[in-house]
Amino acid sequence: MLVVGICGSPKSENSNTKYLLEKALSAVNDDEKLLLNISDHNILHCTGCDSCVRKKPCPQSAKDDMPEIEKKLVSADAIIIATPSYFTSVPGVLKDLIDRSRALKMNDHQLKDKVFGAISYAGLRYGGQEHVIDVLNRYALGHGMIIVGSVGSPVKHGTFGSGSLQTDEGSWRSAKDDELATKGSVLLGQRVVEVTRRLQGLGE
């Protein structure tokens, strides 16, 4: 089994979403996971040329890291995307990856049946987290992936790995001190592993 986690924060250091992604990936064995930091990669934007629709190579792929990223995504059994909320949506760098992955859809739905989970973090308590999750889940649906959420205590835990730098009182913290976001992310990782194993006929 391979779980690929994508961190959509453009920040190369001290990323809160990366922390939560690592928590989700803590549910996966070391030799079965891979964390891909979007900030370590050069991803050019889609120019809308529609080469991929005609099953021709993407001209941008000759100039950036997308071929290497596509290889990792295709080899994954499950994909988790963790991202900050930027104006209640995903950061542009992640949207570039999303748009460029269209080639994988146009060439025989290569991400079909992969298990998918989403995590979002925001500055504000109500900073668009749920909308960001919705964007990511719709993205996964567009590829034919199988979406899962966190399944924890019905009276304690939400459906997503999600939280905020802002506390209920209005003070500030890092994701490390956001207990519910951390727990939600761990639960999401566990659920991704559980469903992936079941699909592979390895689970209970």
Ligand X SMILES: Cc1cc2nc3c(=O)[nH]c(=O)nc-3n(C[C@H](O)[C@H](O)[C@H](O)COP(=O)(O)O)c2cc1C
Q: What Cα–Cα distance (Å) separates residue 38 from each residue in 24, 45, 175, 176?
A: 17, 13, 19, 21
Strand, helix or coil for residue 183? helix
Hey, what are 191's tokens?
Answer: 């659920």
User: Which listed residue (4, 28, 46, 85) binds ligand X by CB under 6 A?
Assistant: 85
Q: Is 121 in the site for ligand X (CB under 6 A)?
A: yes
The rounded distance, in Å, linking the Cα atoms of 85 and 90 is: 6
Q: Is 37 in the site for ligand X (CB under 6 A)?
A: no
Strands 146-147 and 115-122: parallel
Q: Which stretch binds ligand X (CB under 6 A): 58-66, 115-123, 177-185, 186-194?
A: 115-123
Q: Which stretch binds ligand X (CB under 6 A): 7-15, 58-66, 108-116, 183-191?
A: 7-15
Hey, what are 94's tokens?
Answer: 């992640």
User: Which listed residue (79, 86, 94, 119) binds ligand X by CB under 6 A?
Assistant: 86
Q: What Cα–Cα distance (Å) separates residue 62 from each residue in 66, 125, 151, 166?
A: 9, 41, 41, 42
For the chain, the first-to-last Cα distance in angstroms comes to: 16
User: Which listed residue (11, 41, 105, 173) binds ligand X by CB under 6 A?
Assistant: 11
Q: Is 128 in the site for ligand X (CB under 6 A)?
A: yes
Amino acid at 169: E
Q: How many CB atoms lie within 10 A of CB 146?
A: 17
Count of residues engaged in binding ligand X, rule: CB under 6 A: 18
Q: Is 87 in the site for ligand X (CB under 6 A)?
A: yes
Q: Is 123 in the site for ligand X (CB under 6 A)?
A: yes
User: Which listed residue (1, 122, 145, 186) binds ligand X by CB under 6 A?
Assistant: 122
Question: What number of residues does the chain have?
Answer: 204
User: Which listed residue (37, 39, 88, 159) binds ligand X by CB under 6 A?
Assistant: 88
Residues near ligand X, by CB under 6 A: 9, 11, 15-18, 84-88, 121-124, 127-128, 165
